[in-house]
Amino acid sequence: IASSAIYRVRLIEINKRASITDALTGIYNRRFFDEMLGKQIALAKRGNEPLSLLIADLDHFKKLNDTCGLIAGDTFLQQIAEIMKTSIRSSDIVARYGGEEFVIIMPSIGLAGALEKADRIRRHIESLDFNNVAAGQSLKMTISIGVASLPEHGIEPVALLSAADSALYKAKRGGRNRVESP
């Protein structure tokens, strides 16, 4: 009976983890991000603290998928997720937003600090040679990042997301491999 109960508890934990993480990258998924953004914004407002949001998109990722294949693309996404995960504080939340887009919630960091952190991530990815993604090829990748902060760019999840997304598209229009704010 005890081993059966332990087994059920483990299954519940496995299911719970699967419901909040992206199956490919192992980082949080969009569903969890949406829930956490609202909670983190409420905490920031209650404590009168800043909060920043980064939206990052891999530049020309479709071209990589088209030339190297989907398996190489998946490997790339896994490696980028790992870079994102190791580039943030334990209090930050990184998630796969969709496709080749990633988001990072950064509690207690204002716009200047978030822009600096985003640029460090951008430069780190730009500097890497991804040799183990596609056999016999050394690949490079760049990333564009939009940054928005509470309260200056919005105090509600939709407004903050919209501002960060707008900043991301500003970076894309500006030539890619950039960090921008609204």
Q: Whose CA is closest to 32, among 23, 42, 44, 22?
A: 22
Is 49 a known active-site residue? no
Instruction: Calculate Rg over the CA atoms of the chain.
Output: 18
> How far apart are the C-alpha atoms of 167 and 63, rounded to whole Å?
23
* CA geometry: angle 174, 179, 182, nearest 5 deg: 80
Q: Is the peptide bond before 182 cis (omega within 30 degrees of 0)?
A: no
Q: Which amino acid is at 158?
A: V
Q: Could you tell me if 21 and 28 are in contact, meaning their C-beta atoms sit under 8 angstroms apart?
A: yes
Helix (H, G, I), strand (E, B) or coil at 91: coil
- Residue 28 is given by DSSP the state B
Complete DSSP assignment for 101-136: EEEEEEET--HHHHHHHHHHHHHHHHH--BTTSSTT
- Residues 35, 49, 100, 152: which is the catalytic one? 100
User: Hey, which residues are catalytic here?
Assistant: 100
